[in-house]
Structure formats: structure tokens, C-alpha cells
Amino acid sequence: MTQVLVQRTADAALRTRAASVIPGGMYGHMNAAGLPEAYPQFMTRGEGSRVWDADGNEYLDFMCGWGPIVLGRKDPVVEAAVRAQLELGDLLDGPSPVMVDLAELLVELVPHADWAMLAKNGTDATTACVSIARASTGRRKVLVATGAYHGAIPWCTPRPGGVLPEDRAHLGYFDYNDVASLEAAVAEAGDDLAGIIVSPVRQELARDQEMATVEFARAIRTVCDRTGAVMILDDVRCGFRLDLGGSWEPLGVQPDLAAWSKAIANGYSLAAITGRDGLRSAASSIYVTGSFWYSAVSMAASMATLTQLRDTDALARMAASGQRLRDGLAAQSAAHGFVTTQTGPVQMPLLRFADDDAGSTLARTWTNEAVKRGVYLHPVHNWFLSAAHTSDDIDLALERTDDAFAELARLARQG
Amino acid sequence: MTQVLVQRTADAALRTRAASVIPGGMYGHMNAAGLPEAYPQFMTRGEGSRVWDADGNEYLDFMCGWGPIVLGRKDPVVEAAVRAQLELGDLLDGPSPVMVDLAELLVELVPHADWAMLAKNGTDATTACVSIARASTGRRKVLVATGAYHGAIPWCTPRPGGVLPEDRAHLGYFDYNDVASLEAAVAEAGDDLAGIIVSPVRQELARDQEMATVEFARAIRTVCDRTGAVMILDDVRCGFRLDLGGSWEPLGVQPDLAAWSKAIANGYSLAAITGRDGLRSAASSIYVTGSFWYSAVSMAASMATLTQLRDTDALARMAASGQRLRDGLAAQSAAHGFVTTQTGPVQMPLLRFADDDAGSTLARTWTNEAVKRGVYLHPVHNWFLSAAHTSDDIDLALERTDDAFAELARLARQG
């Protein structure tokens, strides 16, 4: 049986210190307070497909920093580009030439893109897209899918604290993959429809992921063409992991604007907005900026990331590893007598138990046992693979998840 | 006479390329389109108090990346901390221990701070402060000074493109340093006053800077105490440059919440929110996060920056250099027959011409001549000094600005 990790001394000490100087001990998506008990809060290092927690425990990493790590941690080409740019300088008094290189590369890679803007957070990008849509059309209403995540400021954050009704006064809602509900929301917006923002995949917590149907994607495109509204693809989470041209390229549907972040620079902080020529003047009419938006290091990292994704078989290898993991987990769960679903792109997997309760107890117990055995998954949020995950990594992870299933079965038998 | 720079071949070529792939050729505060003609748009490297443009021209840098560079570019201690953290890893699946170290350091340095949260953009921090104030009080109204800059998303961005009236439905306005107008705005907000957000110095474009009066700062504190509203100091621009405890420490006035960014990590992308115990639960009730908010490298850079600011005479040396520059410029402008004002903290100077027109023609012509001679100032935005500016640097800059004044006088005589 694979080794079961238990030591959490350093992590516990850090949590105690954090509890006194950080509200709630931690916040945001990396808050481990809601995770099963064996999950560490603090991590100290990463390499390739591995991360280590503050107690020195090693994990096969299937969260990839919640998405940004796409080539693997400390990718040598990206790290060399980062160090070379650090030698020159990061934040100067104007942008570095690499900003132009990167904007050109985005325009080359992304079919709808005639231009690009760069920012820091995914929320910066989605928010700018909404502003550009409103500035361009002179209209107010923006439609979003119920339950979709588009960022964490008042117009979009998933928790109500600090949010006023006015922050969302001109949002309308439709159900993902439901063309009739989309049409109803469009009708309700009437001649005030500025745009529709949509994620390429439905990815809500503790819920099977849902790939967009081609009918749904086309319906959004058609509605926007018909009404003059701006179609915004929020490719922050999926972008540069599934298809370099955008996550709806396989469906043959192109947006007018897209928001990008996460995988764009293999972990370095960067976001981007791409758009069509028709939105160029609206994009330059809005005022968006940030103190670090012109920092060159993350742009150099992005150049090294995107060119490798373009010029190597990294995406294909990632997909193959994802498929190998999915096949292995499907066989294991069946062998241990569990009915599971595995949904979403294989590069962004999620495993759920068909008979799980509302609290996802089975998923939490199973991922907890996996974490104890050195496999870092998530009980309710989609996971992420990187190009650094080899078939040996997948096989080792499967060896450990098999033990986790066995332990889950044993616990289930105990009642 | 000092050398006059003219070569702009590489910059021109980059601007041409940028014009086709970046809306408007550039955007945000580093857009050089509005600057006088001799300003470069693109820069390639920096070192200490110097930056170089894409054509290899060297400048004495008085913008410091628009504030973030506080110790000087490529400070060896900060760079060593950055490289050490890069070796370990930047963005893992949980925060690194350095996040706790940094939150503890902020609590140590900042008198009002019982806790800290970390983010990426100044706007992230100001927006979170507003949300915390609303979540804490259950009220809606937030007062801001007319003309103040608090960020670049719809609730605060200075340009109207993409902004809806609802984004600012619950803002109220007062005039900076005007206690009567503050009281009037407070009265108008009535029992719905959630908070007041204020910058430590009035710093608007093309306008003399104005230090806050102690009466004004105290009035805000008193109003907040009286009404239960949250006092928010937006220390993004001034923070960690004037006083490590916060820019109103010399006035003896402490806020309930503060927003920080820019100088916090000597150029690495980071922002922070600090607050009092009474706001801890409101701070953990709102959902704010970002993909890169837990990246360790900029936190390590911040530790190295703030401990050096705490343990060395860096702030005092920066103030002395600022005073030397101010004294020199005052003597020069008088000698050349110009009436000028120099306002704001000496570490964040701004020189204006008393007889300038609405387009700041004199300031633009003078700074243009300074840039040609290798001194990078700004015609209408406050400048920034760093601890890397030596008295020799200041003397060299003054030698060049003297030539720029002479050229301005010559051009003025020509009419």
C-alpha cells in the first residue's frame, strides 16, 4: 500500500499564526478551511508535476495552482525567459518591447483577435470586456449564465457580502446550454442588450461539468449578430489548455471579445483581453490600467509559454495524460463498486460519485484519502493537468487513488 | 551643455507595430501618446536610479515605474529574495509561508493594522475596502473626494467609457481639505453612510498637489467615529514612501482600513488591505480572490523591501534627495525667470509653472527638454524618488534641468 502522510506540524503552526493576522485565517479560492482535514493549507515548493507542503510532504499535483501551471512547474524555457527579463528589468516607466511581441502573438494565435490588451487578474479582463461591450454599444444589459463564475468584484463575485443590488442592476440571466432560456433573456433585454458573457464549459462547484453544445454556442453567436450585442468568451479558466485559438474553436464559434488569464504565462500573473477590429475604438475609450500591468517579466513568461504550446506537442500530451487518468479512475471506481461520473475536458477533470450526498461526503472522503497518499485533487472543483504530467505520473497517481478507493470502500462498509 | 538625445528609431518602429495590435497603440497610465514628443513609449531596462529606452538612451528616472520602485531598480537584496523564492516556486496550490510572514510584518509596521489581506492591483485593494465597509456596516453610501483617483474599474475609473450610473449610485462627494463640504456630504448620506475613502495627499493631474491639513484628516476620523462609518485611507500611491506606518501617521490620524500597493514590493505586483479587528469578520465575509493573489515571489520581494525600509535610512535618504532636487529646481527656475510651484511631499514632487496655460504648455516644453537631456520627469503627474537616488544623481539631474530651463527661456523669448 502507498504511504499515508500524516505529519502536519508546520502547517498547523502556520495556520495558528495566520489565524491572528489574516481574516478567517485565509480567504479566497486557496482557503483550505473548507477542504477535508488532511489537506495542507501552506505549500513551500513545486517542480514539474509535483508540489511540496510546508511539512515536506510531496504530492502529484492535479490542481496546477488552480490552472495557471500549464507546462509544469519551473519549466526550464519559461524560467530562462523570466530570469533574462529580470536581468533587464520588470516594471520600467513604459512597457517593454515584449508587450508588442506578446500582443502580436495573441493576434496570431487567436482567430477572432485583431488586437490585445494585457492586465493582471482574470477579473480585470472579464470586467474590461463588459465595459468595452457597454462602451461600444451604448447599451446596458449584459447576460450571464446562472451560477457561472466570472470573477470576484461586486458585479460578479459569488458571495453577497459587500455587494449592492445596483452592482448587478443590468445583468440578465440564462441557463447554460439552454437556448430557450437564452432567447428569453435576450427578449427581456430588448434593445438594451450590450453583450453576453459565457464560459466555454459549465464548471460549477460540486456539480458535473458540462461541455457547451454546438447549438448553444451557435445560438449565442447568432443572437449577438442579430442584435448587435457583443459576444464575450470568458476563457480565463480553460484558455490555452484546450485549444490555443480559444476553447470554442473546436465548435467553430468565435466570440467578439475574449478574457484570458491563468495558463497564459505558466503561473506568472497576467491576463489578456482580445477583440475584433470593430471593438478597437471602444477598447481604447475605456480607462483601465494598473500599476503592474506593464511589467515585462510575466509577458516574457507568456511568450515562452505560448510559443512552446504552439510549437510542441504539449497540449496533445496533456490531453493524453488526462485521458489516461480518466480511463484509470473509471476502471478503479467500478472495480471498487462505486458509480462515478467524470465530466468536462480530460485536461480539466472532475470525478463525482453518483450516490454522493449534498455535502459531497464520498468525494471529500476519497480526495482526503488521495491527499494522504500524495495525490493532490479537489473534492468539488475541477482539477487541472499540465504538460509535465507523464504517463508514469498518471500511473503512480492511479496506484495511489486505487488505495484511496479501497479505503473509501472499507470506510463505507463500516458505515 | 548636456547632450540632447534624438534617436527614436526603435521606439518609432515599436509604436508602429503596437498601433496595429494594441487599441490606440497603448492604453492606461503608461500610454505616451499624450506626452510631449521627445518621450519614448518603450523601455528596455533599468538599474538603480536609471532606465533605458528601446533606442538605448539612458535616463535619470524620476517616475520609478509610476511609484512601485522605492529602493531603486534591481535592489540586490530584493532581487536575491526574488531569485530564492523562484527556486522554490511562485504559485503553488496553497499560499507559501511567506504570506504569513508578510501579514505579520504589515501588522507590525502599520499601527491600525490587526490583520492584512494581499491582492495584485491597487484597485483590488480599494475595491475590497469599499466592500468591507459596506459588509461591515450594512449601509451603502461611500464618500470620495471630487477628482480623486482610487482605481480603474467602473465604480472609480476617471473616464466615463463603459460606466453606468448605477456603478456610482451610492457614492457621495466632498472637496479635499474642505471640512464643511465633508460634513455636508455626511449629512446627505444620513444613516446610510458606510465609509469614507480618502488619499493622504491631493494629487490630481495638472494641479498643484495639496497636503492634507490635520483639521481635515481629524474631521474624517471624527465623522467616522460619530457615525460608525469606516474610514479608508487609500495609501496605494503614497504608502511605504513617506511613513512606514501609513501616510497620515505624521498627522496622528489612523484609518480603520487602508489600501496599499505600488511601493510595497519594489516593483513586484502586489497590493494589500490592512484593517482593524472590528472589521475582521466583514473582511472574511466578502469573496475576493484572484488566480495570482497567492504567488509567493512578490510577497518575498515585499518582505525584502519593507524590512529594508524599516531597518535602514532609505526613507530619510529619499526625503533628503527630494529636498535637494526641490531646492535646486527652485533656484534654477528663479534664475531663469520662471515662477514655479513645487508641491506635495518632496519624495513625490511636482513642478508647475505659475503662468502656464490650461494645456500645461510650459511644463510640457520644459519636461520635453529634460527628457531630451536624459532626465525622465512628467509634465502633469507627480514624480517619484527612490532610495537609489544619490546626491550625485540629483546634482546631475539638476545640471540637465538647468539646460532645460535655459532652452525653455530661449524658446519663450522666441515666442
pLDDT along chain B (415 residues), means of 10: 70 98 98 96 98 97 98 98 98 98 98 98 98 98 98 97 97 98 98 98 98 98 98 98 98 98 98 98 97 98 98 98 98 98 98 97 98 97 98 98 98 88
pLDDT at residue B1, rounded to an integer: 47
pLDDT at residue A2, rounded to an integer: 54
pLDDT at residue B415, rounded to an integer: 74
Chain A residue closest in CA terms to B288: A152
> Do the chains contact at B91 and A107, CB–CB below 8 Å?
no
Q: Is A410's pLDDT higher than 70?
A: yes
Residues comprising chain B, all counted: 415
Handedness of CA A282, B237, B45, A75 (dihedral sign): negative
> Do the chains contact at B166 and A163, CB–CB below 8 Å?
no
> Do the chains contact at B14 and A100, CB–CB below 8 Å?
yes
SS3 content of chain B, % helix, strand, coil (to 5): 45, 15, 40
Q: How far apart are CA B398 and CA A292, in angstroms?
A: 29
Q: Is A400's pLDDT higher than 60?
A: yes
| CATH fold for domain A76-311 | Aspartate Aminotransferase; domain 2 (3.40.640)
- CATH architecture for residues B9-64+313-414: Alpha-Beta Complex (3.90)
pLDDT at residue A415, rounded to an integer: 74
> Do the chains contact at B30 and A281, CB–CB below 8 Å?
no
- Interval B23-65: pLDDT, tens: 999 999 999 999 999 999 999 999 999 999 999 999 999 999 9
**Nearest chain B CA: its distance from A5 CA (Å):** 17
**ipTM attached to this prediction:** 0.97
Q: Is A3's pLDDT higher than 70?
A: no
- Interval A64-112: pLDDT, tens: 999 999 999 999 999 999 999 999 999 999 999 999 999 999 999 999 9
Size of interface A-B (CB pairs under 8 A): 353
- Interval A319-337: pLDDT, tens: 999 999 999 999 999 999 9
Q: According to CATH, where is 3.90.1150.10 located in chain A?
A: 9-64+313-414
Q: How far apart are CA A165 and CA B169, in angstroms?
A: 10
Could you give the 3-state DSSP secondary structure of residue A75? coil
Chain A residue closest in CA terms to B277: A23
Residue A119's nearest CA partner among A321, A299, A243 is A299
Q: Is A209's pLDDT higher than 70?
A: yes
Chain B residue closest in CA terms to A290: B121
Chain A residue closest in CA terms to B74: A89
Which of B23, B51, B155 is nearest residue A92 as measured by Cβ atoms? B51
Residue A364 to residues A227, A359, A371: CA-CA distances in angstroms? 45, 8, 10
Q: According to CATH, where is 3.40.640.10 located in chain A?
A: 76-311
> Do the chains contact at A96 and B43, CB–CB below 8 Å?
yes
- Interval B178-218: pLDDT, tens: 999 999 999 999 999 999 999 999 999 999 999 999 999 99
Confirm if A195 and A330 have CB atoms less than 8 A apart: no
- Interval A292-317: pLDDT, tens: 999 999 999 999 999 999 999 999 99
